[in-house]
Structure 1
């Protein structure tokens, strides 16, 4: 596997002033007419379903709703019988920065029950700044040295200082695009409500995964009177992703890696990583520490390989591919020399920029480099597998704008919170935090499973049944439930 492919995988992961409160408008604005047409050719649509797309104008700045407008593209997989549908189901795949136009089609292809697709028009969206919505980027280039939305693992203090210089350069690039300051979770939640209004619906249900759980929490809290049935799957732990949420990635890696290690141990004769999970862990740590000292011929470092393994823990379906990558770097002579990477625009500029903008704009981040240096040192010991990555410094430390409003405060509500016990990026701790914030009317559905994504994506029968019953019949479990 060459360095560019490793770096691309890593980059995909993922992705002082007065606070001005901007509550949603008291009255719905006039609904614009939507013109439905075939979705863009690069949007992957399951051939078994019919999906259409439309664009919707929304304010760039909700503090100035009659000012500059941007476009949001949405997709729709309509229920087959309009007379029996109960409403719309807004969906979000995560990010921030992930394209969501194909998610409704993807969910149907992965087994979304017909009872759900009959009950709702399934709505996807490229959130503001992303994809076929009005795109917004920092103008990142391939020679900026920016590896991705999760900072690289810092094997020592000098690596934190070096990463800070890269973070400063990226923040300075982003400062050249003032539109980016309006990319926030709260504004995206307001966009969701504009979608509801444009579709002529009194209420809207919501299904969000990963960062989509934060967006759903913000949506349900800003619009409690119009949010209907809300499912939050694989949970960030709040209405936004802040530094503490990012540091929990290291906890998720530690809790989930033993599942991968056990899988590898059962296949030692094939992959040679160790006959017990403990041996696998030692082999893995020795490998990445060696690459930290001496990168592979293709330029891959231990930090890069840690990011690839982190991504490989998202699903057991990725274990085999991840095992092959590890085996390649274990066997001498298996790695070719690095190809040259031509300078130019970063292919993931928009995805990376939107992740940064939303995360940095939503909440205050520490601006003192020593705070990150201490955090990395602490988490390197506490979470040896990934702590020195998740605690490392982001461009948020040097972000050119202060938050324009306080993070959305979660309002108690009857939502269903769905969570794997072992999740590499959004550990169970995040689900428990949201359960506490939403209060007694909410329910936490914990699945004794491993990976990122539960409903439909994870394959657990109990979780599928319980979540489907809530979406179709409104039945929440009588109490917090373990599947």
Structure 2
């Protein structure tokens, strides 16, 4: 908010004068006017789209909840500094509380991103759980942030140029420079394609949109649950609208002082720490995996295996690409539920003699079936342009190649087990729009910050750093699984109790570490997310 607009708000609030049409005071008053939600019939989805959205055993439940859904849009200013200028729409949904007689209010939710769709999140949440849970006494509110899904959005064109396949082995400075040039040109072209719109894709504006939703719902206070980037949205909303917050639960808390460098460095260090936990788990199962009987022996063996695959990439006749140290590093980054599979892959990579790939290795990295064309009515799950704009509009680093390359090399050196799991990226280099940093402040309402002690995407220290800035209660989840609270019954019960009573204890066990060393339950390895997605 500019100084003039802020002054207009103060004057109007004091009742000193009625705003005159066309003045800054009038614009500020227009922005504060109660929002109107245009309720409309919800979309229907084809059977093919429904099958893409939900497992077969949950399809009937999904349809049952979907039939209760209410859908609407709210008109919001593209630029809140010009509230009477261009308007855009934000799409939202509502599942009314089952027990309306004891309703506690509206509870909005966001799944992360930035750029993730939350439009059907209430339906997805209730589909995962057979009881009404949060929906018993709360209206559940989903929405697509500006730039996503059914809200006003823009899709930038794909990058112009192709760096070609990365050579086997460690990234070379030459190939990294080609990638940097293509990515930075793509960032520049995207940002210039519609700067008026893309410059307004910020967390602060999504928070303002969220408060317009609250206003349209006629709630004095809004309750909120956010996961991953949704936690960043939550603390920004609470900073901007402290008087409008009821109860807020934020799971897997995002970095509170954002830059791409700090973001990448924090995640890389967390991945290496968690890999040491996996090394200890493998050491306890030396008879099965054969990497050593102490965590240090296992760690040394994995580092040596990664270095050997980088120096001597393996080529198998039934795989269409060579395997280098990246596959070793990716295996070492896995969350605890995937450790049996990762341990099996690492052992097979060590013992492989060819000419064909070992069975588990082939299973997890072999050529998947090409994806079929999605049905036209399948909702957008995430928008890459919104993801890029929201991050880059708030990133103060925007490194040149030499600095980006040096930071990448340092991460590799500091994280010898897992550093190779991440590719080199130009980050926000070339993004042409002004930096719009966000500063957090303590807010109102009741805040719970849920941090996972060992996870990689949102390292636990980010939870503590956020608490030091904005306050709130830390709820510690003793696992390494990003955003697991809503999926783990004991943790979800604590979350429900918090929204019902306002009280919560200090944490939960989370997703357990596998006890046995039998056949792996998981079938795929998860690769670190590209870009900056939380």
1:50 aligns with 2:72: no
The residue aligned with 1:252 is: 270
Unpaired runs of 5+ residues, structure 1, are 1-17, 342-347
1:444 aligns with one of 468, 474, 484: 474
Instruction: From the superposition, tell whether residues 266 and 475 of structure 1 become closer, same or farther in structure 2 (CA, over 3 Å).
Output: same
1:298 aligns with one of 316, 320, 326: 320
Q: Distance between the aligned counterparts of 1:80 and 1:275, measured in 2?
A: 55
Q: What pairs up with 1:51-450 in 2 under 5 angstroms? A: 51=66, 52=69, 53-111=71-129, 114-140=132-158, 144-145=162-163, 155=171, 157-158=173-174, 160-178=176-194, 179-238=197-256, 242-264=260-282, 277-278=295-296, 280-293=298-311, 294=313, 297-299=319-321, 302=324, 305=327, 309=331, 312-313=334-335, 316=337, 318-319=338-339, 331=352, 332=354, 333-334=356-357, 351-387=383-419, 392-403=424-435, 405-413=436-444, 414-439=446-471, 442-450=472-480
Q: Distance between the aligned counterparts of 1:447 and 1:470, measured in 2?
A: 15
Shift of 1:352: 3.0
Q: Distance between the aligned counterparts of 1:352 and 1:320, measured in 2?
A: 33
The residue aligned with 1:35 is: 40
2:395/2:428 contact within 8 Å kept: no
1:295/1:301 contact within 8 Å kept: yes
| TM-score w.r.t. length of structure 1 | 0.78
Shift of 1:123: 1.8
Instruction: From the superposition, tell whether residues 353 and 209 of structure 1 become closer, same or farther in structure 2 (CA, over 3 Å).
Output: same
**What is the number of equivalent residue pairs in this alignment?**
448
Q: Distance between the aligned counterparts of 1:87 and 1:121, measured in 2?
A: 6
The superposition leaves residues 334-367 of structure 1 with CA deviations (integer Å, 9 ceiling, x where unpaired) of 259989x9xxxxxx99633322211100231243
Instruction: From the superposition, tell whether residues 361 and 86 of structure 1 become closer, same or farther in structure 2 (CA, over 3 Å).
Output: same
Q: Distance between the aligned counterparts of 1:349 and 1:154, measured in 2?
A: 33
2:117/2:381 contact within 8 Å kept: no
Question: Which range is displaced more, 416-425 or 447-456?
Answer: 447-456
Shift of 1:87: 1.1
1:103/1:124 contact within 8 Å kept: yes
Q: Distance between the aligned counterparts of 1:380 and 1:202, measured in 2?
A: 50
Instruction: From the superposition, tell whether residues 71 and 155 of structure 1 become closer, same or farther in structure 2 (CA, over 3 Å).
Output: same
Shift of 1:62: 2.3
User: Which one scores higher on RCO, CA 8 angstroms, separation ≥ 6?
Assistant: 1
Question: Which range is displaced more, 356-365 or 251-260?
Answer: 251-260
The residue aligned with 1:5 is: none
Task: Please tell me whether Structure 1 or Structure 2 has the larger radius of gyration of its CA atoms.
Answer: 2
Shift of 1:329: 5.5
Q: Distance between the aligned counterparts of 1:406 and 1:21, measured in 2?
A: 20
Q: Cα RMSD over matched residues?
A: 4.0
Q: What pairs up with 1:9-24 in 2 under 5 angstroms? A: none
The superposition leaves residues 197-252 of structure 1 with CA deviations (integer Å, 9 ceiling, x where unpaired) of 22222221111111111111111111111121111110113175643123211122
